[in-house]
A and B are shown apart, each in its own frame.
Chain A
């Protein structure tokens, strides 16, 4: 009788432990990754594009659980500001006031259940925008809500 009861206690304790571990495993605690290795990533720091051409955006996104969405934003850097993820310094034009700067801001959804996704878009550069230094920002969010950002300094010429 005592043996049976002790076995029952042990079984309950093990079940309780087991369910607790499952909860931990189901949590996604990892940031998604914006990859620049093992892929011809475009754009990259200091890359130069011409007005009227396209930026053939090409990046590999990965996540240990499930990818969610991404955003691409392009804004001028005529004032030489910096972003936390900027690591490379490119040769920049002199500071200037914007006249008709290019502003691009678009959201994209990644199909469900993807742990790896290659994002590829041809982004047309308007022919009448201010040439100069720009920041190309990629913001990737996974399904859990973790967000990663990658800032690239590019130049647009006439």
Chain B
């Protein structure tokens, strides 16, 4: 009887010890993977195009990237561009994302908003936005 009590106590202790150690290895859980982060660079008007630049980090890997241009109030959508370039999809980071989006005849003007959305493989999305400016003269 005494042995049985002792064994139960030891088994309980074993469980606690095992849980303590194995919890360290749970970093891969989807719940622990941070949402994408975006640092917007340029959103400049250039001859019927917008030059879009950004730096992206996506610990859950990029699954889709969408660029939307709206009026300054954000209510009217003028352009929607889904980025499908394979170099930008399925990656953990995008240093110096650079894309020219065609806006010919779309009525886009300086002051409109560019919204840059990155969704990762776990379905987590982050949107950064930047006011569209005329091309800089000195860069």
Interface residues in chain A, defined as those with a beta carbon under 8 Å from any beta carbon in chain B: 1, 5, 8-9, 12-13, 16-17, 19-20, 23, 69, 71, 79-85, 97-98, 105, 107, 137, 139, 141, 144-149, 151
- How many residue pairs link A and B with beta carbons under 8 A? The number is 77
Nearest B-chain residue to A98, judged by Cβ:
B47
Chain A proximity of B31: nearest CB distance (Å): 16
The reply to whether B21 and A5 form a contact with Cβ atoms under 8 Å apart is no
**B3→A144 contact, CB < 8 A:** no
Q: Are B87 and A139 in contact (CB under 8 A)?
A: yes
Does any Cβ of A come within 8 Å of B76's Cβ? no
Establish whether residues B22 and A16, one from each chain, have CB atoms under 8 Å apart when the complex forms: yes
A147–B95 contact, CB under 8 A?
yes
User: How far in angstroms is the closest Cβ of chain A from B66?
Assistant: 19
Q: Give the contacts of B2-17 with A (CB-CB under 8 A).
A: 3, 6-7, 10, 13-14, 17
Contact yes or no, A84 B17, CB < 8 A: no
Q: What count of chain B residues pass the 8 Å CB interface test?
A: 32
Judge whether A17 and B21 touch: CB under 8 Å.
Answer: yes
Complex Cα distance, B87 from A34, in Å, reads 16
B22, A84: Cβ atoms closer than 8 Å: no
B residues less than 8 Å from A19 (CB atoms): 22, 25
Q: Which residues does chain A contribute within 8 Å of B10, judged by CB atoms? A: 5, 8-9
Closest chain B residue, CB of each to CB of A105:
B85
Give complex CA distance A151, B17 in Å: 51
**Contact between B91 and A83, CB atoms less than 8 A apart:** no
9 contacts between A and B (CB under 8 A): A5-B6, A20-B24, A69-B87, A85-B95, A98-B47, A145-B91, A145-B92, A147-B93, A147-B95
A145 touches B61 (CB 8 A): yes
Q: How far is the CA of A147 from the CA of B62 in the complex (A)?
A: 12
What residues of chain B lie closer than 8 Å to A145, measured between beta carbons?
A: 61, 90-93
A1 to B3, CA, bound (A): 9
Known: A9-B10, A12-B18, A71-B87. A149 touches B47 (CB 8 A): no
